[in-house]
Amino acid sequence: MLLKLPNVLTASELASINQALQGADWIDGRTTAGAQAATVKHNQQLDPEDSVCQHIRQTVLQALQRDPLFYSAVLPDKILPPFVNRYTGNSNYYGWHVDSALRAAPEGGRLRTDVSATLFLNAPDQYEGGELVIQDTFGEQRVKLAAGSLVVYPASSVHAVLPVTQGQRLACFMFIQSLVRDTTQRRYLFELDMALVKLRQQVGESAEVVSLTGLYHNLLRSWSA
């Protein structure tokens, strides 16, 4: 399932992030890529230990915690702290690749990458190109969203970032281990949850809504890791 979530960041959060990025120091993006991805990755990133990166990570994680649509779609168990990247100049694209299945977690151990996400940090009219292209069972999708908007998609998808031919593209990317490992099961739960939201608005807490809510939670209980 590919889902676009608008306005994950507020205008003030975006302004704070972009102000912090004014004086950022960028490093080679290949430092966090797996063996295959490193051969096609040509971008820049913030050092995760940099204070600017730490500020952005905290802001983004707080924003995700308050977004009910993100929670419903992803059912996050663990979120790897977001990375911040830039595409511009000669470091302007990321070729076709699949994200690594396991990533080292900051607290130790490994995080299974069920879901990948990209949060756009600057407006699409500030750069040319730079579309995120994702191939999966839903076909090929090209994504270039407004600043502050997020796209989530299966980490198993083959994807790429097209060359930025003018300006710079700023974004966060992150990996999530979901409570529900299976992509199809997560989609079923999301669709059921969205249907329940609409039914509550139309009929309130009817007996049928209560029954369907029980079904949702019993499926979640059965499918969660």
Name the residue ranges covered by the structural domains of the chain: 3-178, 183-223
- Specify whether the CB–CB gap between 165 and 33 falls below 8 A: no
- Please name the helix (run of DSSP H) or strand (run of DSSP E) that holds residue 134, with its range, or none: strand 132-136
- Specify whether the CB–CB gap between 45 and 32 falls below 8 A: yes
Kindly report the pTM of this predicted structure: 0.94
119-142 mean pLDDT:
96
Q: Report residue 131's pLDDT band, with 50, 70 and 90 as the boundaries.
A: very high
183-223 in CATH: which number? 4.10.860
pLDDT on residue 106? 86
Q: Establish whether domains 3-178 and 183-223 are of one fold.
A: no
User: 221 pLDDT exceeds 90?
Assistant: yes
- Give the integer Cα–Cα distance in Å for 101 and 222: 23
User: 32 pLDDT exceeds 80?
Assistant: no
- Coil, strand or helix at 90: coil
Q: What is the pLDDT of residues 99-111, one digit of tens each?
A: 999 999 988 899 9
Domain 3-178 in CATH: superfamily?
Answer: q2cbj1_9rhob like domain (2.60.120.620)
Burial class (CB in 10 A: 0-12, 13-18, 19+), 44: buried
- Specify whether the CB–CB gap between 45 and 26 falls below 8 A: yes
pLDDT on residue 37? 76
- Give the integer Cα–Cα distance in Å for 132 and 92: 12
